Amino acid sequence: KPSDTWKLALSLVLLCAISAYGIALSAGFALAWIWRAAKSAGIKKAFAEIFSNINRLVSWIILALVGIASIICIWPAANAFASRETFDGNSPLTQFLSFIFVMPSESMFTQFAGDVSLRRLTLSVPSAIICVIISILIWAFAVRIAYRRGMLVSLILPYLTFAVVATQYFTLHHAGIVFAFFVAQLWMCIARKSLESKDMPTIIFRLFKVVNKNTNKAENSNSRSASKSVGNKVIAGIITVVLLSPSLIWNAYSCVNDIRFDYSGSRALAQFIKQNHAENMRFVTSWLHQDEKTDKQGNVIVPEFEDIHQYSWQLITANPYFSKNLIDCSYKNSSFITNEQPSQEQASNEMDACRAKKEPKFFVTESD
């Protein structure tokens, strides 16, 4: 229906506005949408099918334009990350495979890697084996559930486009996006058809012999009793709850503590500023000084440098609690780190301009 077409298109447009990951996911869902439309018409009539629905075609064009415009807006500056000279770390292929076979586990059940980028991700052999096994189990459930509802392409393509972007930017504090992706996929599948015991992969049936036995009896019987049918659904529901309960309990506990306590120094700093009515006072923040780093062989992997566009993280993350930018003398009056390293001349000019102003009331810096 035209209304459904525009609802889906609007949802994907809004997804583009979230982040680079949102653009990648939106592109994946759009490709899945096009694939389903072409597949429904057959290979010979696929091209004609694309142009047969004007509302859908226009929505695709608008979505493509929004996606391109979003990419242009977030495209890194030429000198972005210029201060991050270092060795390459994991190859793009290794990062891509890690995103598929490690991140599902790390986003839901494990936390072996800590807050590192995919480029720096290293796991011990036992940890890697555990992550791969759990991730394969997650994929087994996700693929089985999506396949039985004709939504496999909507699972695979968005995750692949997500994985491509992840090889450039992904850090494990973004792991919640992966968890949300799988939850959203489960929700969409359930919206099409409720979960059944048949949604469990065969290998899982073998682990739960009781479920497997009951299911086989149900399949071989021409007339199943209502009690057995209800029993199978209850068992499937219990298994689903057990699998999801660790993450649900963890998130509930985190929400409670988020309300009860200051979960970060940034929130504590924001409360201090509000309590002392210091919003309109002048804040200046320290910048980044990076000592030279070498590997075990003594080779320089990160040179010594100073970057006056890298501000104190405490003040940056306290900023969203206020309607104005707290950071005075920030580059382009930005309330975030642009990752654009200035030249020495530019840095000197910016420091002179900041020095010409009155003495700041607060100087915020990092502490080890």
8 A C-beta contact, residue 98 and residue 121: yes
Domain boundary among 52, 75, 98: 75
Residue 145 lies in a domain: no
C-alpha distances in Å from residue 163, one per residue of 92, 167, 168, 291: 10, 6, 9, 32
pLDDT at residue 27 in the model: 94
8 A C-beta contact, residue 93 and residue 44: no
pLDDT at residue 61 in the model: 93
- Asked whether residue 229 falls in the same domain as residue 277, the answer is no
332: left (phi over 0), alpha (psi -120 to 50) or beta: left
The pair phi, psi for residue 305, each rounded to 5°, is: -160, 165
Residue 111 lies in a domain: no
- Of residues 172, 178, 177, the one with CA closest to residue 114: 172
pLDDT at residue 69 in the model: 94
Token output for 31: 């490709």
8 A C-beta contact, residue 33 and residue 170: no
- Asked whether residue 358 falls in the same domain as residue 284, the answer is yes
- Asked whether residue 309 falls in the same domain as residue 351, the answer is yes
Report the domain count for the chain.
Answer: 3
- Asked whether residue 269 falls in the same domain as residue 353, the answer is yes
**What size, in residues, is the chain?**
368
Whole-angstrom Cα distance, residue 10 to residue 16?
10
Residues of the chain with pLDDT under 50: 1, 83, 211-212, 215, 218, 222-223, 368
Residue 341 lies in a domain: yes
Residue 347 lies in a domain: yes
- Asked whether residue 271 falls in the same domain as residue 354, the answer is yes
pLDDT at residue 295 in the model: 67
- Asked whether residue 218 falls in the same domain as residue 303, the answer is no
pLDDT at residue 49 in the model: 76
pLDDT at residue 216 in the model: 52
8 A C-beta contact, residue 366 and residue 286: yes
- Asked whether residue 270 falls in the same domain as residue 356, the answer is yes
Domain boundary among 215, 241, 260: 260
- Asked whether residue 359 falls in the same domain as residue 271, the answer is yes
- In the block, residue with structure tokens 């859908």: 56
DSSP state of 143: H
- Asked whether residue 269 falls in the same domain as residue 360, the answer is yes
Q: What is the dihedral of CA 136, 141, 147, 149, to 10 degrees?
A: -160
pLDDT at residue 222 in the model: 47
Token output for 105: 């586990």
- Asked whether residue 282 falls in the same domain as residue 355, the answer is yes
pLDDT at residue 132 in the model: 95
Residues 6+ apart with CB under 8 A from 173: 115
pLDDT at residue 106 in the model: 93
- Asked whether residue 284 falls in the same domain as residue 255, the answer is no
Collapsed DSSP state (helix, strand, coil) of residue 287: strand
Residue 360 lies in a domain: yes
Token output for 40: 């429904």
The pair phi, psi for residue 145, each rounded to 5°, is: -65, -45
pLDDT at residue 308 in the model: 73
8 A C-beta contact, residue 195 and residue 237: yes
Residue 107 lies in a domain: no
Residue 189 lies in a domain: no
Domain boundary among 212, 244, 260: 260
Residue 296 lies in a domain: yes
- Asked whether residue 50 falls in the same domain as residue 66, the answer is yes
Range of the domain at 284: 265-364
pLDDT at residue 156 in the model: 95
